[in-house]
Every structure is written in structure tokens, then in C-alpha cells.
Amino acid sequence: MTRDPQHPKVLKQRLFYQGRKFNFEVANLRLANGFEADWESIRHPGGALAVPVTPEGKLVLVRQYRFPVGTSLVEFPAGTVETNEDPAQTIKREIEEETGYRANSWKFLGKFVLAPGYSDEYIYTFLASDLEKLPIPPAQDIDEDIEVILMSVSELEEAILNGEHIDAKSISSFFLARKFLN
């Protein structure tokens, strides 16, 4: 990424923690005004998310427990992009694993930065339609306990507006897909 002169200068950077899904870095930066300090950031390979729509117009979501927030969240199926993997391949795999559906039609809706205050993670969002239920759904990952939920567009809108436990990437992606949903 090209930096313009107004961006901070990186004086020192170190890997603080290397994890299974992301890394944690600490960088010493000098701002344009001369101020120096350490900034922490999560380096993440990115994620891919699908807004799946059944032929009947129902949205396919999942409910799963999220340890960092201590509760279950309703989310669209999503997954971490593996090394050298195209996000479109990531989500095709994840939608089948998490929901037991296969999409025969895909539309890229866009990408967005998830939490730029502390992470470089981008979410690549796709509309997945012309769904078919797999006769034998693939086994879920051993570290996932997922419940599949079907909701109408209006039910999801109401849940979002009522402040139900729905994650930000799903809310953002829903609004990217909204104009394509009947």
C-alpha cells in the first residue's frame, strides 16, 4: 500500500503474537506532527460472507456462540480466507459447511473494512441465490456449534432495528444486498 506524506512513519514493527486465524502486531509510529507512540493491530487475511436467499425468498442465517462477546449471535454464513484462496472459493465452501445449502448463482456485492481502529480485516460479501439443500450436509468444523435459521427480509430488518444480537458484518452485508431482495 502506498503511503502519502501525511501518514505516520513506521519506526519499528514487531510481531507480538502469531495465531491460527490472525496475528497481533505492535508498531512504533511517528506522526506528521512528530508525536511517537506504539499502535497495536490485528493482521487478518480477510473474510468472505454470503447473503443466501432460498427460492422462496427466505434468508439463510446461522446462530452460533461467540466467546469474545459471551453470547450467541445471528449471522450470515462466513469464513476466514485461507492463504492463496480467492474469497469466492472461501464462501462457496463455508456456505455448504455451515448451512447445508449450495448456491448456484453468485453476485459479488462489495467489500468493506470490518474494524479499522484495530484490524486490517476486509469482508468480501456475496449474494448467494438459486439455493439447493444438500442431500447430506457436510460435517461442521469441530470448533463450531451452528444452528441454521431461516428469516424473511422483514423479520431480519425488524430484528436489526430491535437491537437483537446480530453481528455488524451481517448487518452491513444485508444492506449491500437489500436492493436485490424482494
DSSP string, 78-118: EEEPPTT--HHHHHHHHHHHHHSEEEEEEEEEEEEES-TTT
49-73 pLDDT, tens digit each: 999 999 999 999 999 999 999 999 9
**75 phi and psi, to 5 degrees?**
-145, 160
Give residue-wise pLDDT tens across range 11-57: 999 999 999 889 999 999 999 999 999 999 999 999 999 999 999 99
Report the distance separating Cα 52 and Cα 142, nearest Å.
23
pTM: 0.88
- Could you give all domains of the chain from N- to C-terminal order, each with its CATH number? 9-43 (no CATH), 47-180 (3.90.79.10)
pLDDT in tens, 112-124: 999 999 999 999 9
107 Cβ contact list (under 8 Å, min separation 6): 126, 127, 129, 180
Tell me the pairing of strands 47-52 and 36-43: unpaired
The stretch 74-98 carries a mean pLDDT of 96
